Amino acid sequence: MKVLVTGGSGFLGLEICRQLTARGIATSSLNRRPSAALEHLGVPQHLGDLADASAVSRAVAGCDAVIHNAALAGVSGPMRLYRATNVVGTRNVIAQCRAHQVSTLVHTSTASVAFRPGGLEGVSEDLPLPPGHLAAYPQAKATAEALVLAAHSPQLATVSLRPHIIWGPGDPHFAPALARAVRAGRLLMPGDGSNLVDTTHLRTAAHAHLLALDHLQRSPGAGGRAYFISQDDPRPLREIAHHFLRAAGINAPWCSVPPHLATAAAAVSDTYLSMVRSSRTLALSRFLVAELLQPHYFDLTAARRDLSFEPPIGFEAGIAELTRTALSTSDDCKDTPCPKPTTPSVPS
């Protein structure tokens, strides 16, 4: 089997490529820029943009399966930014899978497609998606997921996975975002952090993609549906934030911003950014504040039943690994400066 991973140079995409190559599966990647990590793995790279149908065609040609992981993520910004990659790009992937007789398509969606005011408490995939979303990112991903599931057919078996808050060694997303939120030694966050939130370790998310690939290879007719993926270990957001910060060597007490003030500030920010036609994807927004204030965790019964899913690593073991990795990186940087982290995007 030959598998193409879109976005194989990214945080999750690279781990998917690692796990595929560890199985001995011929793996290639479609990414916009060359990746030294993929080169080290021996993964051939097709350079191009998802919005370019010809680039997608060249990458898909000769493959038996595609794991469509690439996406633009964020908590703010106009729909036009997200549509080009997340919607047009997904349409191109589906069209080229059909054109090149690819039999299997696994799509990386996000649990945020189901998020709504009031949060999500132990919900399953039977919960209908909300009629509207608080930001363009989850709206675009919901559209992309619908396209993938509607494409399921005897010729192209599809599945969409909904991981949530992906983290682990090398995390360019939440740990850096939390570190930026620390001011004067305090973590400034809306609410008291008691809302229960589930997360997904990097290896767990990648493992689920390989299970979905196996599932569609065994039972092509059993696709056409979405699955929530997480550690199945919801914890108070305050606890999760402190674990991530301590792993990075930061000890900052939680400093609660009154929810009504945070919500009002986010509404003003959304209005202003829309008025000036801002392209910022990581600005203060109602979507971000709502996710920080409200619960979001899921019922994984369907993933366990259909995909034989179980997290391969627990939350505590993952945090211990994250801490060891951070300490090792810190030791490596004692004599020579380490590169500064890139600007993080916001994951699923």
> Does residue 265 lie in a domain region?
yes
Q: d(Cα 271, Cα 248) in Å, to the nearest integer?
A: 34
Positive or negative: CA dihedral 108, 21, 309, 298:
negative
> Does residue 110 lie in a domain region?
yes
Residue 83, H or E segment: none
pLDDT of residue 38: 97
> Does residue 345 lie in a domain region?
no
pLDDT of residue 345: 35
The answer to whether residues 152 and 224 touch, using CB atoms and an 8 Å cutoff, is yes
In the chain, the amino acid numbered 314 is: G
Q: d(Cα 78, Cα 76) in Å, to the nearest integer?
A: 7
Q: d(Cα 31, Cα 5) in Å, to the nearest integer?
A: 9
* Active-site entry in 82, 137, 227, 297: 137
The structure's pTM equals 0.92
pLDDT of residue 175: 82
- HSE on the CB side for 227, CA within 13 Å? 29
> Does residue 306 lie in a domain region?
yes
Q: Which two tokens stand for residue 236?
A: 């108070």
> Does residue 337 lie in a domain region?
no
Q: d(Cα 129, Cα 125) in Å, to the nearest integer?
A: 9
Q: Please choose, from the candidates 308, 112, 65, 280, the residue with its C-alpha nearest in 3D space to the C-alpha of residue 207.
A: 308
Residue 30 sits in a domain whose CATH number is 3.40.50.720
Place of tokens 């500030």: 265
> Does residue 314 lie in a domain region?
yes
pLDDT of residue 327: 66
User: Can you say how many angstroms the Cα of residue 161 is from the centroid of all Cα atoms in its chain?
Assistant: 10
Helix (H, G, I), strand (E, B) or coil at 235: strand
> Does residue 341 lie in a domain region?
no
pLDDT of residue 328: 65
pLDDT of residue 174: 83
Burial 152-176 (b: 16+ CB within 10 A, else e): beeebbbbbbbbbbbbbbebebbbb
User: Can you say how many angstroms the Cα of residue 346 is from the centroid of all Cα atoms in its chain?
Assistant: 8
Count of residues in the chain: 348
Q: d(Cα 18, Cα 250) in Å, to the nearest integer?
A: 30
Provide the domain limits for residue 21: 2-332
> Does residue 348 lie in a domain region?
no
The answer to whether residues 106 and 213 touch, using CB atoms and an 8 Å cutoff, is yes
Place of tokens 């801490």: 323
In tens digits, the chain (348 residues) has pLDDT values of: 999 999 999 999 999 999 999 999 999 999 999 999 999 999 999 999 999 999 999 999 999 999 999 999 999 999 999 999 999 999 999 999 999 999 999 999 999 999 998 999 999 999 999 999 999 999 999 999 999 999 999 999 999 999 999 999 988 888 888 888 898 889 999 999 999 999 999 999 999 999 999 999 999 888 999 999 999 999 999 999 999 999 988 999 999 999 999 999 999 999 999 999 999 998 999 999 999 999 999 999 999 999 999 999 999 999 999 998 876 655 444 444 444 433 333 344
Residue 297 annotated as catalytic? no
The total number of structural domains in the chain stands at 1
User: Can you say how many angstroms the Cα of residue 210 is from the centroid of all Cα atoms in its chain?
Assistant: 15
* Residue partners of 174: CB distance under 8 A and separation at least 6: 165, 167, 244, 344, 347
Rounded (10°) angle between helices 136-150 and 89-99: 20
Q: Which two tokens stand for residue 100?
A: 């090149």
